[in-house]
């Protein structure tokens, strides 16, 4: 068998021919594998379209023939390999990479002949989860179209709404519940969409605590904005009847950003369901910055890419993106009691990134192997929320530092709020599922995830 690779797009990465050398160390029949250089013409990398095949029709981008595969990385070399493949658009990593945890990858079925044996040789336990991702997307699109054609008005909890639909709904809620809710734009995107923030608080109480909650930083994670909308609806529509909503809103100001990435989210509805980044031109004919790699605390210190075409492209500089600047401008100068950012998927409740925090300690006070101050308290507060979530549908969340549970990723918003704004209770919450169809979930999941998350956040806020 002959497999040939070229150089990676980014100079910082592991040369792909070294990947085969790693495999050779584990291979008892290494004579069958030959790394050939220079690269034969038939294996030279072409355009991104050639490397990651898809079909573009008059409507949305299609992913016919793309498979969804689970692998389990457990060594540093495994993570480098996956990140290198992603940088070159050979694979699309769906969930966050975790040590000894399933990482789900999408790639075209034409690559299974060499990619699956490579993962096998590296003992990464590859398993095909879906033989054709497009079938999942077609089913989701069919559901949305059936709902649209039915003529039956769909509530905020019944379907995945577009950016424009959510904007209309937010304005209606702010008008209907004007004594509780205030809607404002905290910034404009590259494509001139508003980044909406809805502040909700009760008519009673004083000296209230402040919580900031954002959703939809990654465009394709549709369950995130839907969950944010569910929570807003629950707080506003049940406040008058007393109980939990009134108890929270009379003691808290809740600042909701339902869609932090409006351009990317709109594009995921209109053009490409699997789009992740924002939509600002990034160079090299590519678009978008991964907003959750663009924040300023320990920017570009690991787990992000300098390749403009990569899904984890961190941007030209820290806080370069309008969306990150909007949070910075709004949050700076205010006293926040907690910051919560909602992603999907995995069912994780992440505290601060310990790896980045240790870098900070090393820079300022010298290296320490101890947990950061108050780390036990951070986990204890998170456990209150996770336990309450589990009490609803039995779904468990794993609690811990993202650097302990996952591979390091710098430039995240929760690390920025903790490191630069000193918001102690800063968390990233990865919503369901843990695997399965990943981002493609049924509309019925909105109420299920929305309600259990609402219960969990209420319990967490009471515990602070």
User: Contact at 8 Å (CB) between 267 and 287?
Assistant: no
Which three-class secondary structure state does DSSP give residue 205? coil
Instruction: Encode 395-404: b = buried (16+ Cβ within 10 Å), e = exposed.
Output: bebebbbbbe
The yes-or-no answer on residue 77 being catalytic is no
Helical H runs in 59-111? 76-87
What span, in angstroms and rounded, lies between the C-alpha atoms of 334 and 336? Answer: 6
Length of the chain: 464
Query: Residue 144: which of 442, 461, 357 has the closest Cα?
Result: 442
Dihedral angle of Cα 67, 350, 239, 226, to the nearest 10 degrees: -20
User: Cα angle vertex 253, ends 248, 256, to 5°?
Assistant: 105
Distance separating the N- and C-terminal Cα atoms of the chain: 60
Report cis status (omega within 30 of 0) of the bond before 345. Answer: yes
Catalytic residue of the set 75, 430, 445, 452: 430
Helical H runs in 365-443? 375-393, 402-405, 413-419
Number of helical (H) and strand (E) elements in the chain, helices listed first: 15, 16
Backbone angles phi, psi at 353, to 5 degrees: -80, 105
User: Widest CA span of the chain, in angstroms?
Assistant: 76
Please name the helix (run of DSSP H) or strand (run of DSSP E) that holds residue 362, with its range, or none.
helix 354-364
User: Contact at 8 Å (CB) between 235 and 200?
Assistant: yes
The catalytic residues are 430
């Amino acid at each position: 068998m002959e497999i040939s690779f070229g150089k990676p797009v980014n100079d910082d990465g592991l040369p792909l021919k070294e990947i085969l050398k790693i495999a050779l160390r584990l291979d008892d029949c290494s004579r069958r594998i030959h790394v050939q250089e220079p690269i034969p013409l038939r294996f030279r990398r072409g355009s991104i379209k050639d490397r990651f095949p898809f079909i573009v029709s008059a409507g949305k981008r299609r992913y016919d023939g793309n498979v969804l595969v689970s692998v389990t990385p457990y060594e540093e070399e495994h993570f480098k390999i996956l990140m290198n493949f992603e940088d070159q658009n050979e694979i699309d990593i769906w969930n966050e990479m975790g040590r000894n945890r399933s990482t789900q990858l999408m790639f075209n079925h034409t690559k299974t002949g060499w990619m699956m044996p490579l993962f096998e040789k590296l003992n990464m336990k590859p398993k095909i989860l879906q033989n054709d991702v497009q079938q999942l997307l077609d089913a989701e699109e069919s559901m949305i179209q059936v709902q649209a054609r039915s003529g039956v008005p769909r509530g905020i909890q019944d379907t995945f709404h577009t950016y424009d639909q959510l904007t209309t709904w937010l304005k209606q809620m702010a008008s209907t519940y004007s004594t509780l809710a205030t809607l404002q734009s905290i910034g404009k995107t590259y494509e001139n969409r508003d980044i909406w923030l809805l502040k909700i608080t009760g008519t009673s109480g004083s000296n209230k605590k402040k919580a900031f909650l954002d959703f939809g930083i990654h465009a394709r994670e549709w369950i995130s904005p839907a969950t944010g909308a569910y929570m807003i609806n629950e707080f506003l529509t049940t406040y008058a009847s007393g109980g939990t909503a009134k108890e929270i809103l009379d003691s808290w100001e809740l600042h909701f950003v339902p869609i932090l990435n409006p351009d990317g989210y709109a594009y995921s509805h209109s053009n490409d369901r699997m789009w992740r980044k924002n939509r600002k031109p990034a160079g090299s004919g590519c678009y978008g910055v991964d907003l959750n790699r663009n924040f300023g605390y320990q920017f570009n210190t690991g787990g992000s890419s300098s390749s403009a075409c990569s899904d984890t492209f961190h941007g030209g500089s820290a806080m370069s993106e309008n969306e990150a600047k909007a949070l910075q401008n709004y949050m700076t100068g205010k006293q926040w009691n907690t910051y919560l950012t909602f992603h999907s998927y995995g069912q994780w409740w992440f505290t601060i990134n310990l790896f980045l925090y240790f870098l900070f300690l090393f820079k300022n006070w010298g290296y320490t192997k101890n947990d950061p101050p108050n780390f036990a308290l951070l986990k204890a507060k998170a456990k209150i929320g996770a336990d309450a979530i589990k009490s609803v549908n039995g779904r468990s969340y794993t609690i811990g530092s993202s650097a302990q549970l996952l591979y390091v990723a710098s430039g995240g918003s929760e690390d920025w709020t903790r490191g630069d704004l000193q918001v102690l209770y800063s968390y990233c919450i990865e919503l369901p599922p843990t695997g399965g169809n990943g981002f493609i979930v049924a509309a019925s999941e909105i109420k299920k995830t929305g309600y259990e998350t609402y219960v969990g956040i209420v319990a967490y806020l009471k515990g602070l």
